[in-house]
Structure 1
């Protein structure tokens, strides 16, 4: 089961079904990885693309905000907090030892909930490997208060289970999350996947849901169905802006991924009708939702930046890309333009810090509540195409990385 689930996750992350590449070297120990130098650079490319279905949202005129008119240079600071805190906690082997997704939500009482999908639990061997019998579950939380971390799962300490129990014929992965009802609820988008047969690839995305937890006790209260009729996974990001919560979804066609935008009045995704951006206005028909941008990852972010908006994503226009990129807009619905390279992940591929062709990076996004002044905090996930071996041989691989990214204006375009 561990091996099957990990195979599923790696293909969703990359969006392409191909044979795994051969291992070219053994994973290096975490302490053997050289500290990358800060990266500085800019990147531009055309942003008008086409797809096999649904016309792209038409442009609604020249964007005039400074965020779009400015040319930005990104300077990256790898290993930003809380990366070392997570690593030290993982090394103890007393709870969470690695996972992907890595969304964060501020909770009452000075806490931060870290939202994870596929999760390994302890123990950890003295040589930094995992026992093959280590517990593995499809979703979990870690709660941070200052420099203290606590693992939150379902089940019991001796028999931990996923926070959101799997349905009879599938499993749930967590997506973007937020609070509702004045912080009383922790609401987490959840994607249900189902098996369609007994083969390795006999599974599919089935539906979107909202998992509602009590924000104080973190106990599951209910699972609420969300719109799911247009082949859009409404779990990429949640943005609170004015009277609305904007919901960013991904139409995942494998090799191509397209962003869509919906909105709900208020902070409760289950408490008001959904509206879908058509490219010129809003519709109550989910199938009228327009493609806004090609090349986003299943997990990305859209946040306020100066007088506009910044979209941060792994670049899925490239296979197994090492590039974290940003796009700018004057509106939460786009168009998102001026593609800018923010960072190159040093772990990726045979030339990366593990010296392993199977190592991939994916699903980068920002944590706006944890910005330090003008510096963004961006996380991304690391995995292996040979997960059955690599993730057990080296516990350091399957942990989130955090990078500080400072954007400096170069002048107007």
Structure 2
């Protein structure tokens, strides 16, 4: 079987003994804005929609039956594209197990229109493959996504990983790509290399703000993970000159990219929050943490301050791990956030014994000013 564990899990396992490097996140002082000045508290409700809808669809065994990453992009016609990395496909047995012969691909879409869902992969119905075909010595995992060209394109940051040996953990991140799909047919139109020279996986999050697309990446050292920020003018990541946040300004040199903050997950979110910004992330300062945190800033480049615990994932423990929490701002309702996180097992046999483990969970989080 291929590896149904995302990079953040495996790299944490293999590098858990690494010391935190002497270099640190870029120092800065928060500006004055209500988002930072306010003391926020979180009221959280688990099992928010569309968790039940995805679970019911998974139980049918007629397509997608579980995956991780869990990004969402609104499309024309009232559709939502759910973007997934490692994906199990049906069938599902009546007792909630999956056969060892169940297909497994490294990336997929689930397209939602109302309560209707359909799975999109490559290949054929009898022989499904990943949407982005794997290179000869590796595979692609999907990251953050957005539309471009007035919604005609669905653009997904794809991380290329490569094998370094024959062992279970003998692999590494290699480079970043932009996978461009037709937003109606979901056919792959192009696969374009993206900046990859600074050891940063530029796939954590994409934020459109004031004429720019901000690209949030993670420098993943295993035991420690650092957020970096880049940006392009407009919405086309493949055709524009990238700029990199240095801690005090912007540079065209990727090597000048500064560490903004530590403790972020490989997948996290940065969204507008009132007159400032909100970052949602799993806490990676703890190995296999159950803590989902929110941070605040007056700028899309941080600094990120005043962390608030949004949730503790109840699934975490034993062989079960949770990771890569982030918001879905297109599905936000006022001050009520929709946040997803992924659930997995360190023992792959458990994913066959119980199909319900390897599915995203969704929580509704209301942030209110503390009295």
TM-score category, normalised to shorter length: over 0.9
1:12 is matched with 8
Quote the offset at 1:369 in angstroms.
0.4
Aligned residues of 1:14 and 1:320 also touching (Cα < 8 A): no
Match of 1:274 among 222, 242, 265: 242
Aligned residues: 369
Match of 2:145 in 1: 177
C-alpha deviation, 1:201, in angstroms:
2.5
User: Matches of 1:67 and 1:11 in 2, distance apart?
Assistant: 32
| 1:152-195: CA deviation from partner (whole Å, max 9, x where unpaired) | 00000011000000000000000000000111100000000001
* Equivalent position of 1:329 in the other structure: 297
SS at match of 1:68: helix
Q: Distance in 2 between matches of 1:404 and 1:16?
A: 28
Cα distance, 1:202 vs. partner?
Answer: 2.0
Shift in Å, 1:58? 2.3
Structure 2 partner of 1:56: 25
Q: Give 1:199 shift.
A: 2.5
Give 3-state SS (helix, strand or coil) of 1:87's partner.
helix
Q: Is the contact made by 1:380 and 1:402 (CA closer than 8 Å) also made in structure 2? A: yes
TM-score (norm 2): 0.97
User: Among residues 361, 366, 384, which one is paired with 2:327 in the alignment?
Assistant: 366
How far apart in 2 are the matches of 1:62 and 1:193? 36
* Equivalent residues of 1:246, 1:264 under 8 A apart: yes
List aligned pairs for 1:69-218, cutoff 5 A.
69-218=37-186
Partner SS for 1:178: strand
In structure 2, the partner of 1:384 is 345
* Structure 1, 50-59 or 261-270: larger mean CA deviation: 50-59
Q: Is the 8 A contact 2:30 2:298 kept in 1?
A: no
Work out the CA distance in 2 between the residues paired with 1:53 and 1:248: 22
How do residues 251-400 of structure 1 correspond to structure 2 at under 5 angstroms? 251-349=219-317, 357-387=318-348, 389-400=349-360
- Deviation, 1:372, is 1.6
2:368 is aligned to 408
Asked if structure 2 preserves the Cα contact closer than 8 Å seen for 1:313 and 1:326, the reply is yes
Q: Within 2, Cα distance between the matches of 1:287 and 1:235?
A: 17
Aligned equivalent of 2:190: 222
Aligned partner of residue 17 in structure 1, secondary structure: helix
Gap regions ≥5 residues in structure 1? 20-49, 350-356
SS of residue matched to 1:280: coil
After TM superposition, give the deviation of residue 13 of structure 1 in Å.
3.0
Superposition TM-score, scaled by structure 1 size: 0.87
| Aligned partners of 1:14 and 1:362 also within 8 Å | no
Question: Please, which runs of 5 or more residues in structure 2 have no aligned partner?
Answer: none
1:15 deviates by: 4.0
Q: 2:33 aligns with which of 65, 82, 85?
A: 65
Report SS of the residue matched to 1:164.
Answer: coil
Post-superposition Cα deviations, 1:117-172, rounded to whole Å, max 9, x if no partner, equal 00000000000000000000000000000000000000000110000000000000
| Structure with bigger RCO (C-alpha 8 Å, 6+ apart) | 1
Query: Is residue 293–residue 307 contact of structure 2 (8 Å, CA) maintained in 1?
Result: yes
CA displacement at 1:17 relative to structure 2: 1.7
Q: Distance in 1 between matches of 2:308 and 2:86?
A: 30
Closer/same/farther in 2, CA of residues 10 and 187 from structure 1, 3 Å limit:
closer
SS in 1 for 2:370: strand
1:305-352 Cα deviation digits (max 9, x unpaired): 011000000000011100100100000000011111000111110xxx
Could you tell me whether the CA contact under 8 Å between 1:275 and 1:286 is conserved in 2? yes
